[in-house]
Amino acid sequence: MADPTSDMLIRIKNAQKAGHEAVSMPFSKFKFAVAKILEKNGYVGNVSKRGKKIKKFIEAILLYKDKTPRISAIRIISKPGRRVYMSFKDIRPVRQGYGIAIISTSKGLMTDKEAKKEGVGGEVIAEIW
């Protein structure tokens, strides 16, 4: 079984490559937080929680610029077999600042820029550009 977070990110990337308007995936608080970070940074449009009780899912509206997807690539850094942690001193900009890294810190999920500003490190989930 694949990692649910990487499955979500790959679903978003594949749906954008196929030109879909929206994508849905099973709900979890962690995946919803990741989707909200993508929304805040302009990689996806409106992210909403749908459904009730056990049938909850996340729906994300996909964004395009002149028919090209906003997300050009996603690199999954931490995998179930190999977790990658980074101190805030080691955090470097993704693609010279044109991308973001999603980092799970003790203060919650945040981008690489926010983690550097807060002075916290953590598990690097993925890089998106």
Q: Tell me the per-residue pLDDT of 9-47, one tens digit each, with 9 for 90 and over.
A: 999 999 999 999 999 999 999 999 999 999 999 999 999
Within this chain, do residues 29 and 85 fall inside the same structural domain, yes or no?
Answer: no
Domain total of the chain: 2
**pLDDT tens for each residue of 82-108:** 999 999 999 999 999 899 999 999 999
Find all residues with CB under 8 Å of 48, minimum gap 6, and list them.
Answer: 58, 59
Domain that residue 80 falls in = 74-128
Within this chain, do residues 10 and 38 fall inside the same structural domain, yes or no?
Answer: yes
- Here the CATH number for the domain that contains residue 123 is 3.30.1490.10
Chain centroid, CA 60 distance in Å: 12
- How much is the pLDDT for 53? 87
Residues comprising the chain, all counted: 129
pTM to 2 decimals?
0.93
Beta bridge partners of 124: 103
Within this chain, do residues 55 and 15 fall inside the same structural domain, yes or no?
Answer: yes
Q: Which residues of 106-119 are buried (b: 16+ CB within 10 A; e: fewer)?
A: eeebbbbbbbbeee
Within this chain, do residues 85 and 49 fall inside the same structural domain, yes or no?
Answer: no
- Here the CATH number for the domain that contains residue 36 is 3.30.1370.30
DSSP state of 118: H
Within this chain, do residues 39 and 13 fall inside the same structural domain, yes or no?
Answer: yes
Confidence bin at 60 (pLDDT 50/70/90): very high
Beta bridge partners of 64: 69
Query: What radius of gyration do the chain's Cα atoms show?
Result: 14
Within this chain, do residues 51 and 88 fall inside the same structural domain, yes or no?
Answer: no
